[in-house]
């Protein structure tokens, strides 16, 4: 059992977690931030960010590095690790990490964000790093002059295709629905590359290859026919799933696994346990909304702790 | 000799390089988005189409595998 008692533990190093950390540091709360990396989803964003005030155009990685520097101005403890369990024992929370460390705090903010949702088709796991990628900003150069498929016709899928067009010679976008869901601006930009072909009403069935990916099989939902596409890369952009399993005994989830909160305080059903950013059921998943929720959760946690002290 | 195969826009590469710097480990940073030959070399050595890949005295580690890298470099935190 750890001896050190923190006022607050923040889980996650994306916009919500970092903002919460900045706020609690300024409230002089003894805070520990646990994260496996800084950046959350925005560090991996395929195209520059153009909707965060103060920055007309900035890459996700640059913006998050500024966030990280800002947080590190304060004396917040930072632990590079992943959380696997939270328990509440009496009035305190015990947080257990993957490296089997335990930390104790009087309140916790979960801001662990979301991970790419996997396709769950045969071949996906086997070919990770061998053609299957969830991070276009990491891996695009490896597909120089190759034909690739992007699975998912939303904004993330289109932005991935646009980023790939600098390298790949041909990009298919597979969308399961009848129509793509991306903004018109993204659709136009993809068209302008002259390299993107959109296949709607198509469901990916299988990824295959030898040492590396060499083709995919998809079902044409109209004709029920299975078709093969020769591609050397598969980029998965079918949305996100929240990273919340570690909290399952203390919170309520919706059917997507997102945490239910009170949207004024961001408190979960467990007093002293808050959830901000992509992890909760909030509809709009933006950088600025994640920051806003991180700030509100931090202030609500501060009020909660003050009440606990009896003032 | 330590080589890091990376791209400038890859967040995990950034985390890996920062980790090495914090532990005063010298390394050669190879930008595979600019250097096609290095890209081929990396694919051949690692069987991977993705970064980061780190080579520590001939041993290849894929991704930011902190535990494995710490072990190979004798880093105790």
A131-172: pLDDT as tens digits: 999 989 889 999 999 999 999 999 999 999 999 999 999 999
In a domain, B63, yes or no: no
The whole-angstrom separation of Cα A304 and Cα A152 is 42
Annotated catalytic residue within A62, A115, A135, A220: A135
Tens digits of per-residue pLDDT, A170-183?
A: 999 999 999 999 99
Q: Tell me, yes or no, whether B14 lies in a domain.
A: yes
pLDDT surpasses 60 at B29: yes
Q: State the pLDDT at residue A270.
A: 97
A164 domain residue, yes or no? yes
Tell me what the mean pLDDT of segment A32-46 comes to.
80
Domain that holds residue A185: 132-236
* pLDDT score at B66: 82
The pLDDT score that the predictor gives to residue A13 is 94
Whether chain A has a CB inside 8 Å of the CB on B14: the answer is yes
pLDDT confidence tier of residue B77, bands split at 50, 70 and 90: low
Percent of residues, chain B, with pLDDT higher than 90: 68
Written as six digits, the tokens of A185 are 């601006």
3-class secondary-structure state, position A164: helix
A143: left (phi over 0), alpha (psi -120 to 50) or beta: alpha
* A52 has pLDDT over 90: yes
Q: For residues A257-269, give the mean pLDDT.
A: 96
Residue A299 CB: number of other CB atoms within 10 A?
Answer: 16
Find the catalytic residue in A62, A77, A115, A139: A139
In sequence order, what E strands does chain A have?
5-11, 31-35, 77-80, 83-89, 92-97, 102-110, 114-116, 132-133, 147-151, 170-174, 196-199, 202-209, 213-220, 225-229, 233-236, 240-242, 273-275
One domain, residues A80 and A141: no
For residue B41, the chain A residue with the least C-alpha distance is A142
The answer to whether residue A139 is catalytic is yes
On whether residue A282 sits in a domain, the answer given is yes
Average pLDDT over residues A113-124: 92
Q: Verify whether residue A291 is a known catalytic residue.
A: no
Residues of the domain holding B8: 1-26+40-53
Q: Is the pLDDT of residue A269 over 70?
A: yes
pLDDT in the model for residue A10: 98
Do both A145 and A60 map to the same domain?
no
Q: Identify whether residues A26 and A100 lie together within a single domain.
A: yes
Together in a domain, A207 and A261: no
Asked if the C-beta of A126 comes within 8 angstroms of chain B's C-beta atoms, the answer is: no
Q: How far is A254 from chain B (nearest CA, A)?
A: 30
Mean pLDDT (whole number) for A241-253:
91
pLDDT at residue number A311: 53
CA dihedral A124, A130, A133, A137 (to 10 degrees): 180
* Catalytic residue, candidates A37, A138, A183, A249: A138
Mean pLDDT (whole number) for A59-69:
90
CATH number at residue A215: 3.50.50.60
Task: Report whether A190 contacts A173 (CB < 8 A).
Answer: yes
Distance from CA of A139 to the nearest CA of B (A): 5
Q: Is the pLDDT of residue B34 over 80?
A: yes
Check residue A1 and give its pLDDT.
Answer: 67
The answer for residues whose C-beta is within 8 angstroms of residue A244's C-beta and 6 or more apart is A110, A112, A251, A253, A257, A258, A259, A275, A279
Split into its structural domains, chain A has a count of 2
Please check the confidence at residue A59 and state whether its pLDDT lies above 70. yes
Residue A71 and residue A91 share a domain: yes
Total of domains in chain B: 1
Domain boundary at A208, A236, A264, which? A236
Q: Across residues A228-242, what is the average pLDDT?
A: 94
Chain B residue with minimal CA distance to A135? B10
Total H helices, total E strands in chain B: 3, 4
């Amino acid at each position: 059992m750890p001896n050190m008692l923190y006022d607050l533990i923040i889980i996650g190093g994306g916009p919500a977690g970092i903002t919460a950390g900045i706020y609690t540091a300024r409230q002089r709360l003894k805070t520990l931030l646990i994260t496996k990396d800084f950046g959350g989803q925005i560090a991996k964003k395929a195209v520059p960010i153009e909707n965060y005030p103060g920055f007309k155009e900035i890459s996700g990685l640059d913006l998050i590095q500024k966030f990280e520097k800002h947080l590190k101005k304060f004396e917040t403890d930072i632990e590079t690790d992943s959380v696997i369990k939270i328990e509440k024992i009496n009035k305190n929370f015990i947080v257990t990490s993957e490296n089997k460390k335990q930390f104790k705090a009087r309140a916790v903010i979960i801001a662990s964000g979301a991970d790419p949702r996997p396709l769950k088709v045969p071949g996906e796991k086997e070919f990770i790093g061998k053609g299957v990628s969830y991070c276009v900003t990491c891996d695009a150069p490896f597909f120089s002059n190759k034909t690739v498929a992007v699975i998912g016709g939303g904004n993330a899928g289109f932005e991935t295709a646009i980023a790939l067009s600098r390298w790949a010679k041909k990009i298919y976008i597979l969308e399961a629905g009848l129509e793509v869901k991306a903004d018109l601006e993204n659709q136009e930009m993809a068209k302008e590359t002259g390299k993107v072909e959109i296949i709607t009403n198509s469901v990916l069935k299988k990824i295959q290859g030898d040492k590396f990916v060499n083709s995919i099989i998809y079902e044409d939902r109209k004709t029920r026919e299975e078709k093969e596409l020769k591609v050397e890369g598969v980029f998965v952009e079918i949305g996100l799933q929240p990273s919340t399993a570690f909290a399952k005994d203390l919170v309520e989830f919706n059917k997507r696994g997102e945490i239910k909160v009170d949207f004024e305080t961001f408190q979960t059903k467990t007093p002293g346990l808050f959830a901000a950013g992509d992890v909760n059921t909030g509809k709009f998943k933006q950088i600025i909304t994640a920051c806003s929720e991180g700030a509100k959760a931090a202030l609500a946690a501060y009020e909660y702790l003050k009440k606990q002290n009896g003032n | 000799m330590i080589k890091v195969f990376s791209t400038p826009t890859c967040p995990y590469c950034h985390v890996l390089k920062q980790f090495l710097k914090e532990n005063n480990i010298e390394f050669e940073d190879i930008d595979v988005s600019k250097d096609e030959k290095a890209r081929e070399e990396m694919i051949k050595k690692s069987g991977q189409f993705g970064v980061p890949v780190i080579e520590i005295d001939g041993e290849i580690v894929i991704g930011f595998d902190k535990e494995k890298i710490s072990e190979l470099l004798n880093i105790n935190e």
